[in-house]
Structure 1
Amino acid sequence: MHRKVLAAVGAIAVALPVANAAAAVKKKVATVTKTVTGPQMIADRWGYVEVALTVKKTTTTVGTHKTVKRKITNVTVPVYPNHTDRSVFINQQAIPLLTHEVLTTTQFNPNIELVGGATATSYAFQESLQKAILLAKKI
């Protein structure tokens, strides 16, 4: 019986410093949201496409260990071909599909599904997206 009590007291004595050390380490979280814009890329003879990404960067620091996570929270296309009624119609269909594709695929991956019937816009969107992602990784 005496040995069991000593073993229990010894286990508690060993566990207390570990618990106190774990309580002493504080977790610090910093969040920054920024918008980065890719360059205007040419969509064949139809015009230019420009992609802007809103990126949320979360930095978590525990002791000396730092973890950085980035997430694309919004995609906008401020510049797109709209010089004819047909271009406007095509891009009103294609741009929401392309932006949805960016938000639902693996983050920071420019390899998205292209939209049929809007091939030139899709390729220009993808090129501008790739450049915007490279800028976002530098935040």
Structure 2
Amino acid sequence: MRRIAVTAAGTALGVVLLLAAKPHHTVAVPGASSGGSSGTSSGGAAGSGSASGVHTVTGGTVQTQWGPVQLKVTFDGTRITAVDVLQQPNGTPRDEEINAQALPILTQETLAAQSAKIDAVSGATYTSQGYIGSLQSALDAAK
């Protein structure tokens, strides 16, 4: 009888912990207001055009462990229509290989989500964090 009670209590605790866990589908953005970061953001965001119509905003440069990431985001009104990568880590052939795979995926996710709440690309964590950080600074500047 005691074994059943312990098993039931353990199962209940496990369910409570599982339900309390936060989903892991978003990435902490370096330089965000939530505290420490592995990268730092430098420079500001600059924009052109107006809040209505087509305009572009350049996100801040985010320094990652492997190099800077900076984006230029094009809007049609408030809708993101394009993302151009102005700077990316490119010190080694491996950097270029990672970015050739990761950046199109990140851009596709951005256009689908219409926000910086996108998943990181596996194997390109630092590039993903830099991308999301620069994207968020561009979105903030566009407001």
Both structures adopt the same fold (TM-score exceeding 0.5)? yes
Unaligned runs of 5+ in 2: 1-51
Aligned-residue identity in percent: 42
Q: Which residue of 2 aligns with 1:134?
A: 140
Q: 1:36 aligns with which of 44, 48, 57?
A: 57
Q: Which has the larger Rg?
A: 1
Say whether 1:87 aligns with 2:95.
yes
Deviations 1:27-70 (A, max 9, x none): xxxx52111010110121x100001100111xxxxxxxxxxxx1
CA positional deviation for 1:78: 1.2
Q: Which residue identity does 1:79 align to in structure 2?
A: Q
Q: Which structure: greater strand fraction?
A: 1
Q: Which residue identity does 2:123 align to in structure 1?
A: G
**Count of residues in Structure 1 that have an aligned counterpart in Structure 2:** 93
Q: Which residue identity does 2:62 align to in structure 1?
A: M
CA positional deviation for 1:85: 0.4
Q: 1:103 aligns with which of 111, 114, 129?
A: 111
After TM superposition, the runs of 4+ consecutive aligned structure 1 residues lying more than 4 A away are none
Secondary structure of the corresponding residue to residue 53 of structure 2: strand
TM-score by length of 1: 0.64
CA positional deviation for 1:98: 0.3
CA positional deviation for 1:110: 1.2
Q: Which residue identity does 1:114 align to in structure 2?
A: A
Provide the rounded CA distance (Å) in 2 between the counterparts of 1:120 and 1:86. Answer: 13
